[in-house]
A and B are shown apart, each in its own frame.
Chain A
């Protein structure tokens, strides 16, 4: 298993090695040590490789991940797993702002807290946060699921489209056009599936509330001007 020590190896070496992997490659597991807050670690993965990162990373770790499994044994800076296409990213610690931003698929698991704008503009990604999330999360969320075991900050789901939000704790405030919605059997089922995928055994779907779009901003009406 190749190990990359970012304290004495250029980031370019790690990312280009990951990009050189093709189907059926021998090395399917990489280890990264001493990331020490580096940016753009393990970005642009496009094969089913496993990457274990020992330490905390900076911005955009696992950006545009497509099929890889990346685990950060530490915390992550802004934009972790941004625009992920498929695969899994697990953050053992906390994640900074914009976690999972514009993600189109795959699963992002954050075992600590996520900061503001978690799941901003999400386009199909599933995000599961064991802790709490910050303000403006799921802003303009188009599709996908955001599951939060802790609390959510101000303006949750502002201007949301069809993303589905599940929060077990308290929501400080809801954003424009985001309302609490009925939990139906299909939602409980989906939630159970996501909790299981995230390896969470101590939370039951019934403890969560569902939030989503009121759909009043779908077609412009001047009487909704205050919402903009």
Chain B
């Protein structure tokens, strides 16, 4: 018998995998960190790891039609003279004109208005088109203060003080040279064609004690009309929420690491900030400890994709959610119909994230007039409205199945968890048990 030496298959490293090696080569070749848009792409514990229990013999479901399940939400009841009431708790998150094309912003405004919800400006200010097309508009107050002015503060429906966002808690915004068109440069008072650096802290306050005074100023300028939101990324949600309340917020907006951005370092997106699921319970706990749950509303964002996600966020204690990436997908971002062009850009539909390069085939994350013209704002607005309504119906269906006549009546006890991580983060028992990590006894 001859001895046959079997071939050992080549073995790649889990630590130095293909993507990692490619990134090292890229850094060595270019001398710049990798910048991209969107939120974290790696798999993290999320709402998929939670399930609803539904109705049974001990709990009874609601019928459709006459047995209503209410989806309205009112934001800003704490101090604002004119709180906002929305027909659905799904809002559109802040995305700047500059990061998005004018047509895309118009589409978002149209769709949100049909669905009876709000949109939010981004790092660059308010455009007349957006104010015109969006019935309820939240105006962001950012460290950069690009385009900030009292006229827009007064014609906004709410003001969102941005301390941070999920993709980069502690980082500034970045809009590389290619997207600083004349109009954007004008609005931001920057030279055309340069790389825009952004500050990571607000210029005229640091800390919640000084934020409290800043909020007083904003309220005085707007005669106490507008709800004031404070937005933070997923860093220390318990403390951040408590401090937002103490600083005088009407609404806290919490953005987990799945939350997208127009452009920042990939290393930042993937390594700083917690998953959305890990942020919600601590934030709600802080509100409850201060006796402010439902009095200071909580909006959760970062990876909200379906009515199930909406319902789960609300079951954990949120008052509303915000969508960013999902809204862009609804109006056509990363659509396979542009696959040939994605290939030319070295990517593929579903993976395209170099939004900062301004070459978006879908005409959404670009300022190029030819590309932007590909997006029909009316049709895209209709698509967004459809998507928002579907999510709202989905959330209602789930809530009815749990016996609720209002989405707000969903509770953590309506949920169970499939994994240890999700159970620990949401403080929801593993399915079929009454235990989650951190809970004494079994």
B145–A60 contact, CB under 8 A?
no
Interface residue? A23 (CB, 8 A)? no
Interface residues of B in 169-225 (CB under 8 A from A): 176-177, 189-191, 194-195, 197, 199, 203-205, 210, 213-214, 216-217, 220-224
A79–B204 contact, CB under 8 A?
yes
CA distance A83 to B191 in the complex (A): 20
CA distance A124 to B212 in the complex (A): 27
- Which residue of A12, A59, A123, A220 is within 8 Å of B195 (Cβ)? A220
Interface residue? A78 (CB, 8 A)? yes
Interface residues of A in 1-59 (CB under 8 A from B): 11-12, 15-16, 19, 39-40, 43-44, 46, 58-59
Interface residue? B31 (CB, 8 A)? yes
Find the B residue at minimum CB distance from A97: B204
B393 to chain A, nearest CB (A): 42
- Which residue of A39, A85, A143 is within 8 Å of B217 (Cβ)? A39
One digit per residue, 1 when the CB lies within 8 angstroms of any chain A CB and 0 when it does not, for chain B 1-44 equals: 00000000000000000000000000000111000000000000
Which one of B148, B153, B204 has the highest number of Cβ atoms from chain A below 10 Å of its Cβ? Answer: B204
B191–A44 contact, CB under 8 A?
no
Q: A16-B223, A218-B191 in contact; A60/B213 too (CB < 8 A)?
A: yes
A78 to chain B, nearest CB (A): 7
Interface residue? A63 (CB, 8 A)? yes
B191–A161 contact, CB under 8 A?
yes
A159 to chain B, nearest CB (A): 6
A19–B203 contact, CB under 8 A?
no
A102–B197 contact, CB under 8 A?
no
Interface residue? A135 (CB, 8 A)? no
- Which residue of B176, B191, B221 is within 8 Å of A162 (Cβ)? B191
Find the B residue at minimum CB distance from A60: B217
Interface residue? A142 (CB, 8 A)? yes
Residues of B in contact (CB 8 Å), total 32
Residues from chain A with Cβ under 8 Å of B214 in the complex: 59-60, 79
Which one of A16, A101, A121 has the highest number of Cβ atoms from chain B below 10 Å of its Cβ? Answer: A121
B203–A15 contact, CB under 8 A?
no
Interface residue? A165 (CB, 8 A)? no
B195–A102 contact, CB under 8 A?
no
B204–A78 contact, CB under 8 A?
yes
Interface residue? A70 (CB, 8 A)? no
Q: A120-B204, A161-B190, A217-B197 in contact; A63/B217 too (CB < 8 A)?
A: yes
B213–A121 contact, CB under 8 A?
no
Interface residue? A104 (CB, 8 A)? yes
Residues from chain B with Cβ under 8 Å of A161 in the complex: 190-191, 194
CA distance A121 to B204 in the complex (A): 10
B150–A44 contact, CB under 8 A?
yes
A125 to chain B, nearest CB (A): 11
Interface residue? A94 (CB, 8 A)? no
One digit per residue, 1 when the CB lies within 8 angstroms of any chain B CB and 0 when it does not, for chain A 86-124 equals: 000000000001100110100000000000010011011
Interface residue? B144 (CB, 8 A)? yes
B178 to chain A, nearest CB (A): 11
CA distance A97 to B221 in the complex (A): 21
CA distance A40 to B205 in the complex (A): 14
Residues from chain B with Cβ under 8 Å of A152 in the complex: none
A39–B213 contact, CB under 8 A?
yes
A12–B189 contact, CB under 8 A?
no
Interface residue? A201 (CB, 8 A)? no
Residues from chain A with Cβ under 8 Å of B148 in the complex: 83, 102
B195–A219 contact, CB under 8 A?
yes
B38 to chain A, nearest CB (A): 21
A59–B213 contact, CB under 8 A?
yes
Residues of A in contact (CB 8 Å), total 45
Find the A residue at minimum CB distance from B30: A222
Q: A16-B223, A64-B149, A98-B204 in contact; A140/B197 too (CB < 8 A)?
A: yes
Residues from chain B with Cβ under 8 Å of A85 in the complex: 149-150
CA distance A106 to B191 in the complex (A): 21
Residues from chain A with Cβ under 8 Å of B199 in the complex: 121, 139-140
Interface residues of B in 65-80 (CB under 8 A from A): none
A40–B217 contact, CB under 8 A?
yes
Residues from chain B with Cβ under 8 Å of A83 in the complex: 145, 148-150
One digit per residue, 1 when the CB lies within 8 angstroms of any chain B CB and 0 when it does not, for chain A 203-223 equals: 000000000000001111111
Interface residue? A82 (CB, 8 A)? yes
B230 to chain A, nearest CB (A): 17
One digit per residue, 1 when the CB lies within 8 angstroms of any chain A CB and 0 when it does not, for chain B 47-68 equals: 0000000000000000000000
Residues from chain A with Cβ under 8 Å of B224 in the complex: 12
- Which residue of B177, B216, B217 is within 8 Å of A219 (Cβ)? B177
Find the B residue at minimum CB distance from A124: B189
Q: A44-B221, A218-B195 in contact; A39/B205 too (CB < 8 A)?
A: no
- Which residue of A60, A66, A97, A104 is within 8 Å of B189 (Cβ)? A104
Residues from chain A with Cβ under 8 Å of B222 in the complex: 44
B156 to chain A, nearest CB (A): 13
- Which residue of A58, A101, A143 is within 8 Å of B203 (Cβ)? A101
Which one of A82, A97, A220, A222 has the highest number of Cβ atoms from chain B below 10 Å of its Cβ? Answer: A220
CA distance A66 to B176 in the complex (A): 31
Q: A44-B222, A121-B199, A123-B145 in contact; A82/B204 too (CB < 8 A)?
A: yes
Binding site for A on B (CB under 8 A): 30-32, 144-145, 148-151, 153, 176-177, 189-191, 194-195, 197, 199, 203-205, 210, 213-214, 216-217, 220-224
Can you list 20 A-B contacts (CB < 8 A)? A15-B220, A15-B223, A39-B213, A46-B151, A58-B213, A66-B150, A82-B204, A102-B145, A102-B148, A117-B203, A117-B204, A121-B145, A121-B203, A140-B199, A142-B189, A218-B195, A220-B176, A220-B195, A222-B31, A222-B32
Not counting A85-B149, A102-B145, a sample of 18 additional A-B residue pairs whose C-beta atoms are within 8 angstroms of each other reads A11-B220, A12-B220, A12-B224, A39-B213, A39-B216, A43-B220, A44-B150, A46-B151, A59-B213, A59-B217, A66-B150, A83-B149, A98-B203, A102-B204, A140-B197, A140-B199, A217-B197, A222-B32
In the complex, the 8 A-B pairs of residues with the closest C-beta atoms, listed nearest first: A44-B221, A222-B31, A98-B204, A102-B145, A101-B204, A64-B150, A79-B204, A218-B194
